[in-house]
Structure 1
Amino acid sequence: MTSLHFHLRPVALASALAMQALAAVAQTAPAAAEQGGTLATVTVEASADASAGGLTKPFAGGQVARGGRVGILGTQDNMATPFSITTYTNQLIQNQQAQSVADVLLNDPSVRTARGFGNFQELYVIRGFPVYSDDVAYNGLYGMLPRQYIASEFFERVEVFRGANTFLNGAAPFGSGLGGALNLLPKRATSEPLTQVSAGVQTGGEGFIAADIARRFGPDDSTGIRLNAVRRDGGTGIDNEKRDLSAFSLGFDWRSRNVRVSADVGYQDHTLTEGRPSVTPSSTLPIPRVPDAQSNFAQPWTYSSERDKFGTVRAEVDITDSVMAWAAGGVRRSTEDNVLANPTVTNVFGDTTGTRFSNTREDKVSTAEIGVRGKFNTGSVGHTVVASATTFDNDRYNAYAISAASLRNNIYFPFPSPYPIANGPGAFVGNLLSNPGLTDKINTSSLALADTMSFYDDRVLLTLGARRQTIEQTTFAYNTGLQTSDYDESKTTPVAGIVFKATPEVSIYGNYIEGLVKGNVAPTVANNLPVVNGGQAFAPSQTKQTEVGVKYESGGLGASAAYFDTKQPNFFIVNQVYGPNGEQRNRGLEFMLYGEPVKGLRLLGGLTLLDAEQVDTVGGLTDGKDVIGIPNQQFNFGAEWDVPGVPGFALNARLIYTSKQYANATNTQEVPSWNRFDVGARYLVDLGNSRLLTLRARIDNLFNKSYWASVGGTQGSNYLMMGAPRTFIVSGTIDF
């Protein structure tokens, strides 16, 4: 308890100030009623975005919702949007005991989780393209969430958008998201009071305790507050690996007849000690045999630590019955401190070399958005017109130190090495670790305009629009602080989408949409050596995507199928020089299945078939070869079954399969396919006096399979990440 008190002390003041602000808002509500008449009766649900409609309703079975946010087009029904989206609900998050975004995305066949370059950042690969965790949106705003790991207590739902999306969301500021986007919806107070306490433990000894408390008050329950806090501490299923997490969030919302406001403050302190690192294979040898699932070849002095504070606000105003305006903004302040030692395999016996890589980083992020949406008719044609303007600023401060001494180890028989000096002769140092210097400034802004036209009693919906995006980036040299590169470029990204509702149960759709991100910045280190042009910023990257698909929802069953084709420039390192090397073309088919086709049986999963090939490579040497780290098949399927005759008791199971991947551009290094089987159970117990106890148990990787789960993540990289070992998780939740 002492540790919990210590870690949450910085947010105690923030929560006290927030409570005072909320009280002030509540006191002004009667005055607003006196000026404008009695407040309209509002049916309050878990509206995450201060919108009039609130969250989309859950689909049959409650694991996914009927729709989600489609960027500036707003929240849309799945059957009425010309894009592929899936929204995972809090019911699924809780029942599967998900601890992070990656845990939720284990249900999605179009997504695989990898790792950032040389660190422990969660990285999500959608349709073969990365989405960095710092490009995950929070209530529609980029850059607000912790950069390396996002605790599940921060979000009500996880929205997965598949495909290019620059028109809809603006360019992802940290350089990813060309194949999809993730948006997390914060928690809001519901109409009924909520007091929920959870506790649990998992393999390795990690325990947790969490609280979720919500109340509504004021005239017509117009004001809401929701508090979430969690503390996790202890070992994981991997030998000697330990996690320390303290997280806290406070969400507010207030409504009148024509105004809706919501706000969030959050804090996270996350440290991973002796985390199992990624492994770089030798360029001249086959892929090494994977070690035992629970083994750990990390050095005992390695760690990754990050502390984040953020706040957001969003408001909507109904100007007339058919015109609504909105505004949103947010800030984040983050600090990171890492000491890493990522091994490179040197022979078939598993011997490795490496260096100590220390890094400190600070981020200052601010963002804002304004927009207006209106509806009108021209004859028999309905129009929903939307206009939006956004701005984003990030100042990044960085420092690093690479030891000169080479670390020896073995991935099959690991042993500790002495802590090497990182600033001695032959070491590489950039800025001061104790005082990181400014290395990057990113500024983006955009203007967007779109019109969704409806024909034939809304059976045909046509969306046309464009976004003018400006990206400015300036980089500064380590040690000297001198400017090394600078660009300021603007591009227009259009969109065209159409939906044809063939029947109430079937929608056919198609779209053309483009993606745009800031230019890649050459990494400072690769293969344990400095990159010759480290820090160089390249021009923005653009993709073009076409997609067609069909969606079906009837009764308790939903399904979809889609074909997509996307192309983007390919960047990677050749002879320690980073730069563009041809293009990457991803084509594929996606199939999704979800719902509750029969009472008591819930299904969720699908299949993705990917053809990701290299084109226009230098000299045509690898044209037609598979892109590093992208499998041809991804399959996920889960089922949950209410056991007949035992009220409140349910069993669940999930199968995940990923086909082989390649770890080099010539496709001579093959990483085997893998599959994993998870099982679980939950049981509801009525304790009386309006108290309900939910017991949950889960075993991930039931057969304790050892496998290389991913290859790379950042473009052109080939580091290997191991899958987690068999992990048993048990928890209990009491609703008072």
Structure 2
Amino acid sequence: MSHALPFSLKPCAAALLLALTTGMLVAAAPAAAQTAAAAAVREYDLPAGPLAATLNRIAREAGLAFSTDAQLMQGRSAAPVRGRFEASEAMRRALAGSGLELLGTTGGGYTLRAAAQPAPGAAGSGSVLAPVTVTAQADSATGLPAAYAGGQVAKGARLGLLGNADVMDIPFSVTSYTAELMENQGARTIADVLKNDPAVRYSTSDGHPFENFRVRNFAVNQNELVVDGMYGLIPYGRTPVEMFERVELLRGPSALFTGMAPAGALGGTINLVPKRAGEAPLSRVSLDYVSEGQLGTRFDLSRRFGNDKEWGLRLNGSFADGDTALDGQSRQRQLLSAALDYRQGGFKGSLDAYYTKEKFDGGTPAGVMFRNPALGVLAAPDASLGLFPAAYGESENKAAILRTEYAFNDAVTAFANVGVRHGKVAGFFTGTWVVVTGADGAGTVSMSGQRMYEKNVNTEAGLRLNFRTGGIGHEMTLQASRLKMDYGYDANSNGGTTNIYAPSYVAMPALPGAARKWSDKTFDSLAVVDTLSLLDERLRLTLGLRHQSYQVVPTSDGIAIGGEVAYDKSVVTPAAAVVFKPWGPNVSLYASYVQGLSQGGRISTDNGYVRNHTFAPYKTKQTELGVKWNAGSFTHTAALYQITKPELITFASGAGLDAIDGGEKRVRGLEWSTFGEVTRGVRVLGGVVYAQSIQSKTQGGLLDGYAAVGSPHWQANLGAEWDVPGAPGLTLTGRVQSSASQWLTNNHTLKLPGWSVFDLGARYATRLAGRQAVLRLNVNNVADRNYYSGIFREGAPIGTLGAPRTVSASLTVDF
């Protein structure tokens, strides 16, 4: 199997070699690289004022990491700072007379401690307070919300076309996972990151070449992730995380803020924020190991250039190869990404480009289908068994995203963005499952080898306006966007027999010669959103409308091999939300009403229906009430929500089948999530979800009130980190994931059991040959439990398999 490339890239190996060489050259002057931000001389004219505000301002403008205890600075004043100084000197001058002194940390940042005071009769003696490690990181060059206490999540997230917002101002349940968390947990794909979230479950067997999810008990497919609010630009297959600074989850439907998802994802929006060059130089190299024999290396290089540091460049690359936890399988993954940004005056621009390639052979993870209620659901097989030992596949993706904006003044900013992506796959990516036919685990296999491609172009432009009418502030966004998707597909299938507990070799069918063009899809939309602020920002009201058009133009091949039909519909979706802070900035009460969009049902004579018809896009409606409490170093969110989704009802009529828009699924849930540092050196992340998902309207009312498939009542995740006292640099970690039982069939004849798995880890920050280094070890599914993690999709009784015990280790060194 070969794929001709328009350029030669043998692949990231050459780039990695270059990066390692660059790292060695940079190592010749490590001190200069680590202290460049602090050494930059700036003009200061700061009057006396609150100490915390002054120090945070200096650190933010210089791009320094500043760690301290807020109580240490409480009630203290800063001395005036006037003149040209390095940032560290400016901070020391501000501390004059405060009784505190500035200390440098091993990571290149700064902290405070009480200045030594001589004891009576003992000049020069005294005691000091130990430095504290509550991090207050300056915002990045791109204005990203800073990391929250503990560093695992951020203080805010991107709210679609509205841009970045503080979590306390967002009228939804949202979590923004940081690159620090991804690094510490050994995450390599988006699925690894979202294992931290109680509202998310993986809906393909772990390690599958496609990563699909269920959020709030609704499907979100791998091709429906967004990059900075834009669909269609994510890699086809598994999405590597090395090129992203944040993985943000906005729970619930949100068509207003991001537009209609390509396949109608409704449970939530997963937004990925690309990395940008920070103020301080970065030269980082990592070596990785993942069981049973995956070896790899990664690099992360960042620099800013120009008289005012107006140019920024961030390069990321990774290469891994070797055996995986699936018996007989080997996998190779490659990534090279570049992020160039420019800022000058009112103009900001960025160009992101990436190339990814991943290939596997020797098997692929399988789903297990149960069709016979008399057999029930058999015990889950060992997830390390290769049920398709001859399966192979390869995915390849290339993309570029150009973003520009210009602020004419404080009131008007214009933006225009365009992204293009070409992705293709060849191999056994879908349709690999075993249909169980015997109580001993015997079954038949379904195997489908595909060739697929996507060529996507996403464009958007608009205005952001900030103005006041009377005593009311307005933050208004006007946006027009278009996503065009050219999709091709073809597949060959065959069958065979095996046993889920003792697999047999089954030959794979030959792949089609090429993917046949299936359809052209166009998503056009116009949106307007206005956030009104009143009562000194304590009350924020968001109102918006989006007009969405969706058109499908099928080819003759698409109609012939896929039952694709023409589609051309449009719809308007509103949203309304309010945030109220009655007791100050640390408590937010919110309520919101939003809609999600998915393609309406399609019936055609080619599929045995008696009439041709396409329904208008379905409007999925969500109402949510919630409260957020920022306790200073840890935050809680409690949300009560209801989501209703229209569904097609199919029934016998005359000589064939007919369908009406009469079905409905309803989810009512109560969700609690938390993150932050509960006490010095102890960090938590996770939450609990209780949901009742029912079939609220079914054919003839026969199944009204029955629980919907793939919808456990309870889901919980809780992770913790502990900095071991007396062992500087050593951190121990743990995480538990748990789900209750869930129905596999609509009529409740088959049910998957509940499950819980435990993960453990440790990391040690130290110095190697004078360089900052971190060693990390993570063990997932410590007990090596075999379990069904969830369902593959609604309408197909396929249980997915959780990952076996997996060990990962890494060594990261900053040069």
- TM-score, scaled relative to structure 2: 0.79
Which residues of 2 match residues 591-670 of structure 1 at below 5 A?
591-670=672-751
Contact 2:732–2:761 (8 Å) recurs in 1: yes
CA separation in 2, counterparts of 1:342 and 1:104?
26
- For residue 284 of structure 1, what is the amino acid of its counterpart? P
Query: Which residue of 11, 18, 41 corresponds with 1:7?
Result: 11
Contact 1:165–1:181 (8 Å) recurs in 2: yes
Give 1:157's aligned residue: 246
* Change in CA separation of 1:542 and 1:306 when aligned onto 2, cut-off 3 Å: same
Which residues of 2 match residues 637-716 of structure 1 at below 5 A?
637-689=718-770, 691-713=771-793, 715-716=794-795
* Change in CA separation of 1:135 and 1:51 when aligned onto 2, cut-off 3 Å: farther
Query: Which residue of 723, 726, 734 corresponds with 2:802?
Result: 723
Give 2:471's aligned residue: 380
CA separation in 2, counterparts of 1:9 and 1:706?
36
* Change in CA separation of 1:170 and 1:679 when aligned onto 2, cut-off 3 Å: same
Task: Please tell me whether residue 269 in structure 1 is matched to residue 357 in structure 2.
Answer: yes
Contact 1:252–1:263 (8 Å) recurs in 2: yes
* Change in CA separation of 1:65 and 1:572 when aligned onto 2, cut-off 3 Å: farther
Give 2:68's aligned residue: none
Secondary structure of 1:607's aligned partner: strand
What's the CA shift for 1:272?
A: 3.0
Query: Which residue of 474, 485, 491 corresponds with 1:400?
Result: 491
Task: Please tell me whether residue 470 in structure 1 is matched to residue 549 in structure 2.
Answer: yes
Secondary structure of 1:102's aligned partner: helix
Secondary structure of 1:280's aligned partner: strand
* Change in CA separation of 1:484 and 1:194 when aligned onto 2, cut-off 3 Å: closer
What's the CA shift for 1:294?
A: 4.1
Secondary structure of 1:219's aligned partner: coil
CA separation in 2, counterparts of 1:345 and 1:581?
33
The unaligned stretches of length 5 or more in structure 2 are 1-7, 20-59, 66-138
The unaligned stretches of length 5 or more in structure 1 are 16-40, 423-432, 524-529
Contact 2:290–2:324 (8 Å) recurs in 1: yes
Give 2:124's aligned residue: none
Contact 1:198–1:210 (8 Å) recurs in 2: yes
* Change in CA separation of 1:127 and 1:484 when aligned onto 2, cut-off 3 Å: closer
What's the CA shift for 1:219?
A: 1.8
What's the CA shift for 1:293?
A: 3.2
Task: Please tell me whether residue 244 in structure 1 is matched to residue 321 in structure 2.
Answer: no
Which residues of 2 match residues 475-624 of structure 1 at below 5 A?
475-478=554-557, 485-503=565-583, 504-519=585-600, 539-570=616-647, 582-624=663-705
Give 2:384's aligned residue: 295
Contact 1:58–1:66 (8 Å) recurs in 2: yes
Secondary structure of 1:152's aligned partner: coil
Give 1:349's aligned residue: 440
Give 2:161's aligned residue: 72
* Change in CA separation of 1:243 and 1:380 when aligned onto 2, cut-off 3 Å: same
CA separation in 1, counterparts of 2:358 and 2:476?
42
- For residue 712 of structure 1, what is the amino acid of its counterpart? F
* Change in CA separation of 1:441 and 1:537 when aligned onto 2, cut-off 3 Å: farther
Give 2:102's aligned residue: none
Secondary structure of 1:329's aligned partner: strand
What's the CA shift for 1:296?
A: 1.7
Moved more, 149-158 or 635-644: 149-158
* Change in CA separation of 1:319 and 1:577 when aligned onto 2, cut-off 3 Å: farther
* Change in CA separation of 1:419 and 1:167 when aligned onto 2, cut-off 3 Å: closer
CA separation in 1, counterparts of 2:206 and 2:326?
21
Moved more, 505-514 or 412-421: 412-421
Task: Please tell me whether residue 450 in structure 1 is matched to residue 522 in structure 2.
Answer: no
- For residue 67 of structure 1, what is the amino acid of its counterpart? G
What's the CA shift for 1:571?
A: 5.4
Contact 1:697–1:729 (8 Å) recurs in 2: yes
Contact 1:287–1:671 (8 Å) recurs in 2: no
Query: Which residue of 219, 222, 244 corresponds with 1:130?
Result: 219
Which residues of 2 match residues 114-263 of structure 1 at below 5 A?
114-115=203-204, 120-176=209-265, 178-263=266-351
Query: Which residue of 93, 101, 116 corresponds with 2:182?
Result: 93
* 1:536-559 alpha-carbon deviations (Å, 9 max, x no partner): 976422111111000000211210
What's the CA shift for 1:285?
A: 3.5
Structure of greater Rg = 2
CA separation in 1, counterparts of 2:206 and 2:331?
20
Contact 2:382–2:501 (8 Å) recurs in 1: no
What's the CA shift for 1:500?
A: 0.4
C-alpha RMSD of matched pairs (Å): 3.0
* Change in CA separation of 1:192 and 1:322 when aligned onto 2, cut-off 3 Å: same
Task: Please tell me whether residue 61 in structure 1 is matched to residue 150 in structure 2.
Answer: yes
CA separation in 2, counterparts of 1:565 and 1:295?
38
Give 1:434's aligned residue: 513
What's the CA shift for 1:722?
A: 0.7
CA separation in 1, counterparts of 2:15 and 2:572?
41
CA separation in 2, counterparts of 1:309 and 1:373?
30
Contact 2:650–2:699 (8 Å) recurs in 1: no
What's the CA shift for 1:151?
A: 0.7
What's the CA shift for 1:573?
A: 8.9
- For residue 519 of structure 2, what is the amino acid of its counterpart? D
Contact 2:489–2:518 (8 Å) recurs in 1: yes
What's the CA shift for 1:164?
A: 1.4
Contact 1:470–1:490 (8 Å) recurs in 2: yes
* Change in CA separation of 1:105 and 1:412 when aligned onto 2, cut-off 3 Å: same
How many residue pairs get aligned? The number is 684
* 1:682-719 alpha-carbon deviations (Å, 9 max, x no partner): 00111254x11100001100111110011123x32321
* Change in CA separation of 1:659 and 1:392 when aligned onto 2, cut-off 3 Å: same
- For residue 496 of structure 2, what is the amino acid of its counterpart? L
Contact 1:594–1:605 (8 Å) recurs in 2: yes
Task: Please tell me whether residue 278 in structure 1 is matched to residue 358 in structure 2.
Answer: no
CA separation in 2, counterparts of 1:685 and 1:60?
22
What's the CA shift for 1:517?
A: 2.4
Give 1:28's aligned residue: none
Contact 1:368–1:391 (8 Å) recurs in 2: yes
CA separation in 1, counterparts of 2:260 and 2:64?
31
CA separation in 1, counterparts of 2:206 and 2:760?
32
* Change in CA separation of 1:230 and 1:271 when aligned onto 2, cut-off 3 Å: same
* 1:162-218 alpha-carbon deviations (Å, 9 max, x no partner): 111001111112322x12100000011111111111111121111111111111111
Give 1:22's aligned residue: none
Secondary structure of 2:438's aligned partner: coil
CA separation in 1, counterparts of 2:234 and 2:251?
20
Query: Which residue of 451, 458, 473 corresponds with 1:360?
Result: 451
Give 1:110's aligned residue: 199
* Change in CA separation of 1:726 and 1:51 when aligned onto 2, cut-off 3 Å: closer
* Change in CA separation of 1:122 and 1:418 when aligned onto 2, cut-off 3 Å: closer
* Change in CA separation of 1:692 and 1:112 when aligned onto 2, cut-off 3 Å: same
Secondary structure of 2:198's aligned partner: coil
* 1:138-169 alpha-carbon deviations (Å, 9 max, x no partner): 12211101122101112111010011100111
Contact 1:261–1:315 (8 Å) recurs in 2: yes
* Change in CA separation of 1:390 and 1:672 when aligned onto 2, cut-off 3 Å: same
* Change in CA separation of 1:415 and 1:470 when aligned onto 2, cut-off 3 Å: same
Contact 1:285–1:347 (8 Å) recurs in 2: no
What's the CA shift for 1:300?
A: 2.2
* Change in CA separation of 1:464 and 1:10 when aligned onto 2, cut-off 3 Å: farther
- For residue 442 of structure 2, what is the amino acid of its counterpart? D
Secondary structure of 1:94's aligned partner: helix
Contact 1:438–1:481 (8 Å) recurs in 2: no
Give 1:425's aligned residue: none
CA separation in 1, counterparts of 2:205 and 2:749?
24
CA separation in 2, counterparts of 1:512 and 1:444?
23
